[in-house]
Structure 1
Amino acid sequence: MILILMGVSGCGKTTVGQKLAAQLGLPFQDADNFHPKANIEKMKAGISLTDEDRLPWLNDLAANIRKWEQTGGAVLACSALKESYRKILQCVPQITWIFLDGSRDIILKRLQNRKAHFMTSTLLDSQLETLEKPDYGLHFDIALNPDQIVQEILIKMNQMKSTSEFGLIGLGVMGKSLALNLADKNVTVSVYNRHIPGKEEEIAGKFIADNPSFKNLKGFDKLEDFVQSLEKPRKILLMIYAGAVDSQIEELIPFLEANDVIIDGGNSFYKDTSLRAQLLEHINIHFLGTGISGGEEGARKGPSIMPGGSSKAYISVSKYLDLISAKDKNGKACSSYIGSGGAGHFVKMVHNGIEYAEMQALSEVYFLMLNFLKLSAKEISEILKTWQSDDTGSYLLEITIDILQKKEGDGLLLDQILDQAEQKGTGGLSVTAALEYGVPYSSLSEAVMARFLSALKEKRVRAANLYARENIIPPANSEEFISRLRNAYQAVRIINHDIGFNLMRQASDHHQWQLNFSEIARIWSNGCIIRSELMEELVEVFKTAETILCSTHIVPKMKTWQHDLSYCTAQGLQNGFALPVLSAALNYFLSYTTAESGANLIQAQRDYFGAHTYQRKDQPAGQYFHTQWKSQTDD
């Protein structure tokens, strides 16, 4: 175990730490001994350290904490005044924070009586000003003598051994996988699942029985027992369907206390999330609406996590979210605070909208290769493998290759799957949001509509018999078409992402969320369903550009690829193949890059029949005009 005693200089960290280490049989470490010489000289001179001064010191301490954990643990005395400092030091799962707090007068008197120490009493006020008191860990009043504090710490630690650090409600596919993910990271986890006679019975107990190797999992079938098993402040993750969230919160509230945290990890509508956060805030319970993407495998091995809501609540649970999340190419957690209110669930909703469009685009590419080029599934998979090995690579492309190779008996399993695409509704919700915020959402909307159309199977079969496809003329050069189709696919993906991020930007401005799009792209670079080489590029794009299509990284590519998108789309449509996402993306791009459009005629028409007025090019913006279009002398 690692125990860190924190607080301002003079609060007794070293004295208490040494006594505690002796009781536990652990080595004692003083963070002051790790300060570089330059830091010590500044403090001797009564000069406060800056964050830049502290960073190398904190990183060195974190490296040592990792070593101490491997060799049995340690007790560390460290001021750790800010939450940002503590986050650096929280580099291993099993850290117990012990905050020694007390009045300025007591601490000042101690500092004045302390001999031969580089930290002078003149720095106390700056330390107190810097101090960000944690609302987690063990808190002790330094008015007690050191021996009393040590005994209180030992009592609290014994109590903690019988409680779990984290709670999870809902043992569906995602809930089970996340619980095991947490347990893998040495987090003690309590799990609970509702009891429905004949349908859901003793789910928690069976889950524990099915995973006997995890000694840090506890299962409960009674909600009160589950809540009481958690250390305070409680941290409870809900992995249940959106329609059950409110009733579950109502059941929880009687057993919760101030500063407990509820995390909704399902696909709740972001406006509902905002309302829940406001209602719970009135009773001092924190709420986080948290998007989690990655499916069953991602939940087990590391998803992308998008928490939004109470920033205070995020601080208290961030170490757990970081632990279980995927890691980007630099080893940083694919989890980051998104923004207040429903920001986390909004961003997850848009993620799903992009996901719909990416899946439909791949479906259209596959369909063209299969029916226009007359390629076999094996040939298509080999082509897609070459795409996956370069900068076109993505998780969705990877699984498409696997699907095209999956056999059932002597045939392809895919050929036996009914062509009716289902959905859970998050794609449609993003379309509704785009309408509400007035954001063009062309290809992402079409992806949702394509699923609705696919559901009309019987009608489609009847119509196909009435409008039989004839005279399909495949391209003369298939290899050239495949090369151009690859470029068209890349162009569509760029456009899809631009549309999705534009919706997030508009919502961010409206709600003052201050979304960081480079950071969102970063946490989407691994773990989530739409992770890809393109997403890695967007991390850098959003550091300098406001929109994807106007980025200097993207413009040269799109200047070439738009012609391939036009060509492939036209060829497909002319030969009778529906390409809703490819064609919608092309129309969006052409409209977006057209300086003078035909919308002036629409404005004239609106003014003609409805006196809706219009603006003029030759007049200042914001001035509106109306014309009597038809002369009264006209017949």
Structure 2
Amino acid sequence: MSKVYILMGVSGVGKTTLGMMLAEELSVPFYDADNFHSASNKEKMQNGIPLTDLDREGWLGKMSSLIPEWQSSNGGVLACSALKEKYRNQLAGGIDKDLEWIFLFEDFSIIADRISKRKLHFFNPDLLKSQYDTLEPPDYGIHIKVENSPEESLKEILQKLNMPEFGIIGLGVMGKSLALNMAGKNFLVSVYNRREGELEENIAQNFVDKYSDKYQLQGFDDLKNFVFSLKSPKKILLMIKAGDPIDEIIEELIPFLKTGDLILDGGNSHFKDTERRLEKLSELGIHFLGVGISGGEDGALNGPSIMPGGSKEGYNRVKDLLGSIAAKDRLERPCCNYIGPGSSGHYVKMVHNGIEYGEMQLIAEFYYFMRYFQDRSPEAISKVFTEWNLKQISFLLEITADILLKKENNQYLLDKVLDIAGQKGTGGWTTVAALEVGVSLDTITASVFARNISAFKKHKNQVRELYKLKNKADLEITDDELFKSYRSASVINHSIGFELLRIASVEYGWNLNFSEIARIWTNGCIIRSSFMEKLSGIYDSTKSSHLLLYPDIAEKLNEDQEIFTRIIPAILSQGCPMQVCSSALNYFLSFTRENTPANLIQAQRDYFGAHTYERIDKPRGEYFHSNWKPE
């Protein structure tokens, strides 16, 4: 699809002259809006009678219908007054893509003098005052003051047409990769990196210089110059450390931004911080998106999964760009879509990371059992995971199989890695977020705690002397039994994560589309898998329930239930820790039992604290208190 350039402004600013010159320069057709006026409109203007909105409706509608035709051929340049925002909206007809607005302006006295000297034109000079009164200058597009010659104005237009349309602040691994991804899709990009001492001097320019032979990038160490290098409305992606640095850079940006500009936070910010920033910036007329981005360095470079939430209008302005750089699903649709209002984008990314925590720990537990209790070599375990991956395609299974084969100096590199796993915050945030909305998060919380307990390294030598534990399994377990146990735990881990999203969607009024979220997670992200494809089909776009209540899920868990409930306790009985697996099993058993021991909990609370309780033989909402001491 080709681009259409629209030169707008009051009569006499040179729309036709510059439009024809620009069209010739770009080798595209030129269209003059005056030629689309009806005879009655032209007669009115010749007689000094201002056109009404009703008069303009058919005129704008005609051109609006032609723009898609021009876009589908060679594009073009259109000269049209388009004085009001609503006229420009009518003209665009909802089209955001490949329209370039060029606003020409000059002082009233200069334009009045020009018009008075024009001949053979139907426009009555007396109408100029009404046009200036009507004019609503856009806060977007290219603005050109036509004080110089047409040739000089054309040169300025061409320079500004080459202004970057997107800016990235932060040139860490993800920021650099996303910049290269965008540049590789033929987007003009400006990059900026904050200077903090000599070590970070000229980082942006050095990055640009490194790739100058391949990509169009502009680098800045000065924030003001960076912002002013961008086309309006400004679109700026923050790829810096979450927390105070985000607030600090936003404060620095605000003086250089105008109403309608857009800031995107692509880091792992806490959703409550995102909500606060969104509220503050919206009061200033600045759009804000909290954008979850998953895929690591390779995904950022070649196509990540992108989860934008916040300003819908802001999203529409970057929809095509984000879709272009995102991974593609099996139908070649971008793994990116508007998640919802508020902080929903960052919340969904947080839960994605929570599920990721669970899946990583889950695979690690089966590796640990096979390596240290079945005495299998890394090559043998890699082969097992490769076979599992053929049954249930999973990015994490795939990379684990690779990790197990990596050697350094003829020794397994994995054996040289310290067995302490930290957590950056999103796993813990997910646990806290679940507590806030009353959702059980067994597997994800277990995976966070498993990382925490791995830090108790200094206690290990003491433990070895105090406790005598088995190091070998005394039972036979087949690879198929292990796989079905893994698959069951993985399904439950996913169901727990999606249930948190479902309850949060209701709690915060986000109206999340779980089918679409699962689809976005089918490629590009860390937890991509063939199971995610299945979830995208299972979830309905308009309604949802707990994942374990769907017949397709229940059928598979029923098929594996006997093995799952037998194998995990058997492994635990041999002294092998299985934090996520055992949590998944406990969750499944608790969820699938019709009754729970919570009635005893309620009785205990009423006994020692008079907290009251409900009865099964009375309507919900009625509360009772009893003297529980036997008479």
Partner amino acid for 1:458? K
In 2: Cα distance, 1:471 partner to 1:238 partner: 49
Q: Secondary structure at the match of 2:175?
A: helix
Q: Secondary structure at the match of 2:427?
A: helix
8 Å Cα contact 1:562/1:586 also seen in 2: no
Query: What's the offset of the Cα at 1:98?
Result: 4.0
Deviation digits for residues 556-610 of structure 1 (CA, Å, limit 9, x no counterpart): 1010222222222112100000100000001011111111111111111111111
> Which residue of structure 2 lines up, in the alignment, with residue 86 of structure 1?
95
Query: What's the offset of the Cα at 1:319?
Result: 1.6
> Which residue of structure 2 lines up, in the alignment, with residue 610 of structure 1?
609
Query: What's the offset of the Cα at 1:552?
Result: 2.0
Query: What's the offset of the Cα at 1:474?
Result: 3.5
Q: Structure 1 residues 471 and 235, CA, compared in 2 at 3 Å: closer, same or farther? A: closer
Q: Secondary structure at the match of 2:341?
A: coil
The question of 1:461 aligning with 2:458 is answered no
Matches within 5 A, 1:471-620: 472-476=472-476, 478=477, 481-543=478-540, 545-620=544-619
Partner amino acid for 1:224? K
Partner amino acid for 1:523? I
Partner amino acid for 1:514? N
Deviation digits for residues 487-537 of structure 1 (CA, Å, limit 9, x no counterpart): 111111111111111111111111111111111111111111111111111
Deviation digits for residues 322-352 of structure 1 (CA, Å, limit 9, x no counterpart): 1111111111111111111111111111111
In 2: Cα distance, 1:568 partner to 1:575 partner: 11
Q: Structure 1 residues 603 and 342, CA, compared in 2 at 3 Å: closer, same or farther? A: same
Matches within 5 A, 1:172-191: 172-191=172-191
Q: Secondary structure at the match of 2:548?
A: coil
In 2: Cα distance, 1:395 partner to 1:84 partner: 42
Q: Structure 1 residues 383 and 471, CA, compared in 2 at 3 Å: closer, same or farther? A: closer
Matches within 5 A, 1:95-110: 95-98=98-101
Partner amino acid for 1:553? D
Partner amino acid for 1:584? S
In 2: Cα distance, 1:281 partner to 1:471 partner: 59
Q: Structure 1 residues 230 and 371, CA, compared in 2 at 3 Å: closer, same or farther? A: same
> Which residue of structure 2 lines up, in the alignment, with residue 248 of structure 1?
249
Deviation digits for residues 532-565 of structure 1 (CA, Å, limit 9, x no counterpart): 1111111011127522211122111010222222
Q: Structure 1 residues 345 and 16, CA, compared in 2 at 3 Å: closer, same or farther? A: farther
Query: What's the offset of the Cα at 1:447?
Result: 0.2
8 Å Cα contact 1:349/1:426 also seen in 2: yes
Query: What's the offset of the Cα at 1:153?
Result: 9.6
Query: What's the offset of the Cα at 1:164?
Result: 1.2
8 Å Cα contact 1:613/1:626 also seen in 2: yes
Matches within 5 A, 1:174-323: 174-243=174-243, 244-323=245-324
> Which residue of structure 2 lines up, in the alignment, with residue 354 of structure 1?
355
Deviation digits for residues 409-441 of structure 1 (CA, Å, limit 9, x no counterpart): 111110111110112111001101111111000
8 Å Cα contact 1:308/1:339 also seen in 2: yes
Is the deviation greater in 601-610 or in 447-456?
601-610
Q: Secondary structure at the match of 1:242?
A: coil
Matches within 5 A, 1:347-386: 347-386=348-387
Q: Structure 1 residues 514 and 167, CA, compared in 2 at 3 Å: closer, same or farther? A: same
8 Å Cα contact 2:174/2:300 also seen in 1: yes
Q: Secondary structure at the match of 1:353?
A: helix
Partner amino acid for 1:86? I
Partner amino acid for 2:320? K
Query: What's the offset of the Cα at 1:156?
Result: 6.7
8 Å Cα contact 2:335/2:524 also seen in 1: yes
Unmatched 5+ stretches in structure 1: 31-47, 49-56, 102-132
Q: Structure 1 residues 4 and 173, CA, compared in 2 at 3 Å: closer, same or farther? A: same
> Which residue of structure 2 lines up, in the alignment, with residue 161 of structure 1?
161
> Which residue of structure 1 lines up, in the alignment, with residue 401 of structure 2?
401
Q: Secondary structure at the match of 1:527?
A: coil
Partner amino acid for 2:253? L
Partner amino acid for 2:160? M
In 2: Cα distance, 1:541 partner to 1:366 partner: 30
Q: Structure 1 residues 153 and 230, CA, compared in 2 at 3 Å: closer, same or farther? A: same
The question of 1:430 aligning with 2:420 is answered no
Deviation digits for residues 369-411 of structure 1 (CA, Å, limit 9, x no counterpart): 1122221110111111111122x11111111011011111111
Matches within 5 A, 1:117-128: none
Query: What's the offset of the Cα at 1:5?
Result: 5.7
Residues matched between the structures, number: 552
> Which residue of structure 2 lines up, in the alignment, with residue 338 of structure 1?
339
In 2: Cα distance, 1:219 partner to 1:74 partner: 31
Q: Structure 1 residues 369 and 277, CA, compared in 2 at 3 Å: closer, same or farther? A: same
In 2: Cα distance, 1:280 partner to 1:229 partner: 21
8 Å Cα contact 2:141/2:231 also seen in 1: no
Q: Structure 1 residues 593 and 201, CA, compared in 2 at 3 Å: closer, same or farther? A: same
Partner amino acid for 2:610? A
Query: What's the offset of the Cα at 1:20?
Result: 7.0
Matches within 5 A, 1:63-82: 73-75=74-76
8 Å Cα contact 1:17/1:75 also seen in 2: no
Query: What's the offset of the Cα at 1:191?
Result: 0.5
Query: What's the offset of the Cα at 1:162?
Result: 4.7
Q: Secondary structure at the match of 2:534?
A: helix
8 Å Cα contact 1:163/1:229 also seen in 2: yes
Q: Structure 1 residues 447 and 19, CA, compared in 2 at 3 Å: closer, same or farther? A: same
In 2: Cα distance, 1:527 partner to 1:268 partner: 20
8 Å Cα contact 2:367/2:381 also seen in 1: yes
In 2: Cα distance, 1:152 partner to 1:239 partner: 38
Partner amino acid for 1:538? L
Give the alignment's TM-score, normalised by structure 2: 0.81
Q: Structure 1 residues 426 and 183, CA, compared in 2 at 3 Å: closer, same or farther? A: same
In 1: Cα distance, 2:419 partner to 2:303 partner: 31
In 1: Cα distance, 2:552 partner to 2:143 partner: 51
Deviation digits for residues 602-634 of structure 1 (CA, Å, limit 9, x no counterpart): 111111111111111111111111111115xx5
Query: What's the offset of the Cα at 1:285?
Result: 1.2
8 Å Cα contact 2:23/2:30 also seen in 1: no
Deviation digits for residues 285-327 of structure 1 (CA, Å, limit 9, x no counterpart): 1111111110000000011111111111111111211111111
Q: Structure 1 residues 298 and 162, CA, compared in 2 at 3 Å: closer, same or farther? A: same
Query: What's the offset of the Cα at 1:215?
Result: 4.3
Q: Secondary structure at the match of 2:551?
A: coil
In 2: Cα distance, 1:212 partner to 1:99 partner: 28
8 Å Cα contact 1:274/1:342 also seen in 2: yes
8 Å Cα contact 2:305/2:336 also seen in 1: yes
Deviation digits for residues 125-175 of structure 1 (CA, Å, limit 9, x no counterpart): xxxxxxxx99754699xxx9xxx9x99995674242352111100000100
Q: Secondary structure at the match of 2:95?
A: helix
8 Å Cα contact 1:166/1:230 also seen in 2: yes
Partner amino acid for 2:623? Y
8 Å Cα contact 1:372/1:572 also seen in 2: no
8 Å Cα contact 1:384/1:401 also seen in 2: yes
Query: What's the offset of the Cα at 1:2?
Result: 2.7
Q: Secondary structure at the match of 2:552?
A: coil
Query: What's the offset of the Cα at 1:216?
Result: 1.2
Partner amino acid for 2:583? A
> Which residue of structure 2 lines up, in the alignment, with residue 448 of structure 1?
448
